[in-house]
Structure 1
Amino acid sequence: MSLIAVYRPRSNSEALVVAALMQAHGVAHVMQGGAFSSMYPGALSTSLNAQTLLVEDDQADFARALLAGFLNQEGVAS
């Protein structure tokens, strides 16, 4: 299985909520950059501390549908 980027959270707290949503619905995921951003907290405006939600390719559509319920679609990766 390959991983696909489906969302880029704008804050660490948003990343935690998104990860919890994925876990609650059984979506296998990785929050890329999550560990690094916790070392240097602050605005997620640079590639140094940005986080990206990665999911398995066969679960990408389901993950996007879960996110669409409460997130602005500006952060969805193409």
Structure 2
Amino acid sequence: MNATEIKNMIQAGLPDAQVEVLGDDGQHFEARVVSASFAGKSLVQQHQMVQATLGDSFTSGVLHALALKTSAPR
């Protein structure tokens, strides 16, 4: 899996999101996600929403590590 694939999956699941995914080693990535859908949600809930867009990528071992920075627009 690469950064573009991760970005596309997040944007498909959170269409209103602004998404930036960094990482070029094929295993460790960092995603910054800004979405109006996060308004009023805790960081844990925001991260769960992003993780849900990635399906079974973590449990299947396709995606090894993803650091998340999430927020609602200001």
TM-score range, shorter chain: 0.3 to 0.5
Output the TM-score relative to the length of structure 1: 0.43
Higher fraction of helix: 1
Q: Taking CA–CA contacts closer than 8 Å with sequence separation of 6 or more, which of the two structures ends up with the larger relative contact order?
A: 1
Output the TM-score relative to the length of structure 2: 0.45
